[in-house]
Structure 1
Amino acid sequence: MNLAIIHEWLNIYGGSERLLAEILGLYPQAQVHALIHNKENLVGTPLDGRNVKTSFMQKIPRVEHLYRGLLPLMPFAIERMDVRKYDVVLSISHAVAHGIKTNSNQIHISYVCTPMRYAWHLQDDYLHLHHLDKPLIGAAARLTLGLLRRWDRESASRANHLLAISNWTAQKIQQAWERESQVIYPPVDVERFSPAKVRDDFYLHVSRLVPYKMTAEIIRAFNELKLPLIVVGDGPEMPHLQKMAKGNIKLLGYQSDEVVTDLMNRAKAFVYMAVEDFGIAMVEAQAAGCPVIAYNKGGAAEIVQDGETGLLFQEQSSRSLSEAVLQSSKLNSKAAHESAARFSSARFREEFLAYMKKVIEN
């Protein structure tokens, strides 16, 4: 099978890149295509040294820093990537990869993390992040995002088959694109965790520090609770959060997988408030025997078994989180650890290979 895998931006090693690495482990001869590729940021990861064919966007000066602001250019770029020589095209999409153009002799499978979130439910966050929320420029930006939504919906018909990373994403695909999709949860390396027999007395939050992750609300809650909280992650919100946080809260910035694994193995509970399409960090926490306290929407509702492996709170607010934290003392570390096996890499490989076999043979 001559296989092309289409990614969007390969400049960090995050959730969709881990998914890509797992698929390449199954199909090592596949050719990877991406809009942009930053080799330096992938040194030491499973994608280190991988040959990647890129779009014309790779030639834009400082594109690795500017790419999110170039979202309106991405449909044009993805449509001009040439994949005609491949039998099967697999796109991993959370923005535009599903819009790759194929012909009737090819099979196109799109594994969808989400429909283009910045053109749909995170439009205001995108405009604020890129300083496009002023009256005049904001009107033009909203018009552009409206055109992107139209392209997103129309280009979704190009894939022959759709996979979704969660039931939540499948619902969003149905709402935005009016198409059915099959759910295969992404792989999580649950084997790397070794839960501590005695948990330490701190709570943990791991996230990119951007507005929709709601880290500010988590800090507000722990400012009031006066309980120890460790925050791992970096992003544009960091200066604001550092000013907010009181002495019981430590912001560690970016940390290696080894440090995060150790913290999860020891933490009393993992707290999360964002609405995620899946939520790998929540699965990792449970694999470490760390119960999860999360907002009851999105992937969290599929990952956390309320009252057993964690607690789900009903409002996206510091008060609702605080109430859940105060009720969390009897959560079961063993149950959380055992539950994470549902999302293992071994389970993913079995389901994904079976799906590919069925699609290609039919």
Structure 2
Amino acid sequence: MSETSKRTDHVAIAHDYLTQRGGAEKVVLALQRAFPSAPVYTTLYEPSTTYPEFAASTILTSPLNRVGFLRRSHRLALPFLAWASTRVKVDADHTIVSSSGWAHGFRARGSKVVYCYSPARWLYQRDAYLGSSRLTPASVVLRALSPFLKRWDLRAARSATKYFAISTVVQQRIKETYGLDSEVLPAPHTVDKTIPHEPVDLSPLSPGNGFYLCISRLLPYKNVDVVINAFNDLGLPLVVVGTGPEERRLSGLAGDSVVMVKNLTDGQIQWLYAHCTAVVSSSYEDFGLTPIEGATHGKPSIVLRWGGFLDTIAEGRTGVYFDEPVPSAVVAAVEKSRATEWDDDAIRAHADFFTEEHFARRLRDEIARLDADSAPSRVHPDS
């Protein structure tokens, strides 16, 4: 790891910050596999709290990375991230940007291909991001900075050569927010079925006939409290996997049928998917990766009829929807799922539409197209 320095690459990867383990970080790892020699540029990098696979990567950071407590709590860095992003300079023919609000502002010498999870939630969906409309220190800072950040964000978005959207709802949001057209490219599932499964101690649950699984960052808009309250009412076993600022509050809500775990290995996550009854989410998801990961194990999903879940669920074949994030709706959907006879093979086949091979091939094709447009006689090997 080092601060951004003078180097020239054919393809580089950019990401907001590498300080946590989540779906966006899994996408960056997929990008690394698609372009193995590409360095990763980011504002903040904390090896102890993100995926260990990044240790083998060339990570180039902004000057903000020198501030240790910001690496450990990137949300505290919010007032400084626009400044830090404009100081990341990428000297590459092509930069593939993995962004939900910052990395599209990195300064790129060549083309800038943005893979967008959503226009910044903290700017355009502030109350959902913060979980409340009431005044808090975070909301006060956001309100004060919003006029500047929206101007900065629009300039950053319009510096892109090409926009990809993770889902149709994000495609619409990009058009409404930036006035830009984009192409939908679903995120890949990165389930490695060869990883040995590692059992998770669920003895507090006595799951018996199985358990339901909710994997999520513990943020307000993820609505994990809705799922917990529903399973408190149902009395069915629920395993919640995740960390985040809502952790203490959610732990206080969890009844005897709910267990919360965190910092699991990939082998433990795969064990949970393989042994669960179904995946559950009440989140406002821009994509919705966990239903696909569950589907690779033949598991159905019970999810909110919203956003990215509309792209990743085949209703009645791979899962069921509920229409609003309230416990009673989740309870009804769980009961409907329990009354349904699911076809494991059909669910697994659905997951094949979201492979890493398709994702990588489309991005390599885009880089090849940009190479051909800029220098038809010049041929680059894959990075």
* Cα distance in 1, alignment partners of residues 268 and 251 from structure 2: 21
* Cα distance in 2, alignment partners of residues 224 and 361 from structure 1: 59
- Partner letter of residue 301 of structure 1? L
Instruction: Deviation per CA, 1:146-203: give whole Å up to 9, x if none.
Output: 3322321232110111111111211111111110011111221245189x9xx94221
**1:317 matched to 2:326:** yes
For 1:358, the equivalent position in structure 2 comes to 369
* Cα distance in 2, alignment partners of residues 136 and 169 from structure 1: 28
Query: What's the offset of the Cα at 1:309?
Result: 0.5
**1:172 matched to 2:173:** yes
RMSD: 2.4
Question: In structure 2, the residue corresponding to 1:192 is in which secondary structure?
Answer: coil
Whether the 8 Å CA contact 2:27–2:187 is kept in 1: the answer is yes
Query: What's the offset of the Cα at 1:350?
Result: 2.2
* Cα distance in 1, alignment partners of residues 13 and 139 from structure 2: 35
What TM-score, normalized to structure 2? Answer: 0.85
Query: What's the offset of the Cα at 1:22?
Result: 1.8
Count residues with an aligned counterpart.
352
* Cα distance in 1, alignment partners of residues 350 and 106 from structure 2: 37
Instruction: Deviation per CA, 1:237-278: give whole Å up to 9, x if none.
Output: 222222222212222233222112111112111111101111
* Cα distance in 2, alignment partners of residues 311 and 137 from structure 1: 36
For 1:114, the equivalent position in structure 2 comes to 118
Residue of structure 2 aligned with 1:253, choices 252, 257, 262? 262
Q: Does the C-alpha gap of structure 1 residues 180 and 309 become closer, same or farther in structure 2, counting only changes over 3 Å? A: same
Query: What's the offset of the Cα at 1:294?
Result: 0.2
Query: What's the offset of the Cα at 1:141?
Result: 3.5
For 2:69, the equivalent position in structure 1 comes to 62
* Cα distance in 2, alignment partners of residues 275 and 294 from structure 1: 10
Gaps of 5+ in 2: 1-8, 198-207, 374-383
Question: In structure 2, the residue corresponding to 1:327 is in which secondary structure?
Answer: helix
- Partner letter of residue 116 of structure 2? V
Q: Does the C-alpha gap of structure 1 residues 191 and 139 become closer, same or farther in structure 2, counting only changes over 3 Å? A: closer
Superposition map of 1:1-362 within 5 A: 2-42=10-50, 44-45=52-53, 47-83=54-90, 85-102=91-108, 106-123=110-127, 125-126=129-130, 133-134=134-135, 138-139=139-140, 141-192=142-193, 200-329=209-338, 330-362=341-373
* Cα distance in 2, alignment partners of residues 137 and 203 from structure 1: 33
- Partner letter of residue 291 of structure 1? P
Instruction: Deviation per CA, 1:45-67: give whole Å up to 9, x if none.
Output: 2x213221211101224121232
* Cα distance in 2, alignment partners of residues 233 and 138 from structure 1: 24
- Partner letter of residue 156 of structure 1? A
Whether the 8 Å CA contact 1:193–1:288 is kept in 2: the answer is no
Whether the 8 Å CA contact 2:166–2:187 is kept in 1: the answer is yes
What TM-score, normalized to structure 1? Answer: 0.89
User: How high is the sequence identity, in percent, across the aligned residues?
Assistant: 26
Whether the 8 Å CA contact 2:12–2:41 is kept in 1: the answer is yes
Query: What's the offset of the Cα at 1:70?
Result: 1.9
Question: In structure 1, the residue corresponding to 2:92 is in which secondary structure?
Answer: coil
Query: What's the offset of the Cα at 1:33?
Result: 1.3
- Partner letter of residue 117 of structure 2? C
Query: What's the offset of the Cα at 1:293?
Result: 0.4
Q: Does the C-alpha gap of structure 1 residues 138 and 173 become closer, same or farther in structure 2, counting only changes over 3 Å? A: closer
Whether the 8 Å CA contact 1:231–1:249 is kept in 2: the answer is yes
Question: In structure 2, the residue corresponding to 1:290 is in which secondary structure?
Answer: coil
* Cα distance in 1, alignment partners of residues 72 and 125 from structure 2: 23
* Cα distance in 1, alignment partners of residues 282 and 131 from structure 2: 22
- Partner letter of residue 144 of structure 2? L
Query: What's the offset of the Cα at 1:302?
Result: 0.6
* Cα distance in 1, alignment partners of residues 10 and 298 from structure 2: 41
Instruction: Deviation per CA, 1:277-318: give whole Å up to 9, x if none.
Output: 112212101111110000011111111111110001111211
- Partner letter of residue 240 of structure 1? R
Gaps of 5+ in 1: none
* Cα distance in 1, alignment partners of residues 256 and 337 from structure 2: 22
Q: Does the C-alpha gap of structure 1 residues 221 and 41 become closer, same or farther in structure 2, counting only changes over 3 Å? A: closer
Instruction: Deviation per CA, 1:25-78: give whole Å up to 9, x if none.
Output: 222222221111123345742x21322121110122412123212223211111
* Cα distance in 2, alignment partners of residues 343 and 98 from structure 1: 24
Q: Does the C-alpha gap of structure 1 residues 228 and 309 become closer, same or farther in structure 2, counting only changes over 3 Å? A: same
Whether the 8 Å CA contact 1:292–1:310 is kept in 2: the answer is yes
Whether the 8 Å CA contact 2:19–2:72 is kept in 1: the answer is no
* Cα distance in 1, alignment partners of residues 62 and 214 from structure 2: 36
Whether the 8 Å CA contact 1:200–1:266 is kept in 2: the answer is no
- Partner letter of residue 107 of structure 1? S
